[in-house]
Amino acid sequence: MSILKDITRPVFPFTAIVGQEEMKLALILNVIDPKIGGVMIMGDRGTGKSTTIRAIADLLPQIEVVEDDLFNSHTSDYELMSDYVKKKVENGDQISTSLINVPMIDLPLGATEDRVCGTIDIEKALNDGIKTFEPGLLAKANRGILYVDEVNLLDDHLVDILLDSAASGWNTVEREGISIRHPARFVLVGSGNPEEGELRPQLLDRFGMHAEIRTVKEPSLRVKIVEQRSQFDTNPFGCIKQFQLKQDQLKSKILNAQKLLTHVNIDYELRVKISEVCGALDVDGLRGDIVTNRAARAFAAYQQEDNVTISHIKQVIVLCLRHRLRKDPLETIDSGIKVEQVVNKVFQ
């Protein structure tokens, strides 16, 4: 039985994925700086959305967590600690830790609010006077990735809860006069097919980035993708071994970017230009400005540079703004192209 437990299901290597550069970049930047606010991936069926998202989680280095803690608590970062661990730290108690893979949590479409947020065992609370918290998916996703497939079909109320937790980094459960609060800092990744319905604009706006995925049209590329997948299905471990060096290189690049991020500087003039673009596009609120600044700094860190340049901004700004434009039914121009036109005008 223990032998079976040790065998992990092989995951398609991230560096083996052909094309879909927009989606890959958006995921990498969110992993470098989770405060970007997640990514919404909209695209055709069968374009490798789920495969890519599972692959990015598998690529990430292991994290150190407090042993026997329900929330993957950090050992030194107060913002990522549960109240129980905070008390132990304040009392100077010994804390044992272990290394785990970055949590990758799938949220099923039929999930209830209790399943997502967690619930309080009322019977135990009333009989024994003990607050027993049954953690939900948000607790398990702390310091990891929460993936919602077909997010446009999920109940709006649940999407609201997810986005609130992703933005604040905390989840609060209030039941029968009992309140529990725990850290829930995760990268929220949603995917969907636009044919099955769009997400409400106010919910869409809460996602940091928006990647659009199209089916590859070029025959030679399609053949390459099919061959890559067939090779993996036939001999998964051989395929993983073949891409191991590339995987390790990308892993260390992401780790270096995470360390460098706090030192990356973005000049005042460039920040003004970003806000000028948002103003010219009539973007509601300031989320667009904030996310573009964050994403540009994360991309500069990914490129191992200390200062954000115009080329860094141009690389990420469409991903950050295209879903924030007001929809005009008579508009024939794609929102991404519209953003590019304004960017080229402002950054001449």
CATH number at residue 269: 1.10.8.80
> 10 Å Cβ neighbour count for 109?
12
Considering the domain architecture, whether residues 202 and 323 belong to the same structural domain is answered as: no
In a domain, 256, yes or no: no
Considering the domain architecture, whether residues 116 and 39 belong to the same structural domain is answered as: yes
Note the pLDDT of residue 215: 79
Considering the domain architecture, whether residues 211 and 294 belong to the same structural domain is answered as: no
Quote the number of domains for the chain: 2
CATH number at residue 55: 3.40.50.300
Considering the domain architecture, whether residues 20 and 136 belong to the same structural domain is answered as: yes
Residue 304 buriedness (CB in 10 A; 0-12 / 13-18 / 19+):
exposed
d(CA 291, CA 36): 6
Cβ atoms of 266 and 293 closer than 8 Å: yes
Q: Which positions are catalytic?
A: 287
Considering the domain architecture, whether residues 31 and 158 belong to the same structural domain is answered as: yes
Note the pLDDT of residue 302: 94
In a domain, 67, yes or no: no
Considering the domain architecture, whether residues 174 and 275 belong to the same structural domain is answered as: no
Note the pLDDT of residue 1: 41
Considering the domain architecture, whether residues 207 and 329 belong to the same structural domain is answered as: no
Tallying the residues shown for the chain, one arrives at 348
Q: Which of 185, 216, 247 is the last residue before a domain boundary?
A: 216
Considering the domain architecture, whether residues 134 and 280 belong to the same structural domain is answered as: no
Cβ atoms of 57 and 89 closer than 8 Å: no
Considering the domain architecture, whether residues 202 and 290 belong to the same structural domain is answered as: no
Note the pLDDT of residue 8: 65
Note the pLDDT of residue 269: 92
> 10 Å Cβ neighbour count for 124?
13
> 10 Å Cβ neighbour count for 27?
26
Note the pLDDT of residue 4: 43
Domain that holds residue 109: 2-62+101-216
Q: Pick out the chain residues at pLDDT < 50.
A: 1-7
Considering the domain architecture, whether residues 206 and 285 belong to the same structural domain is answered as: no
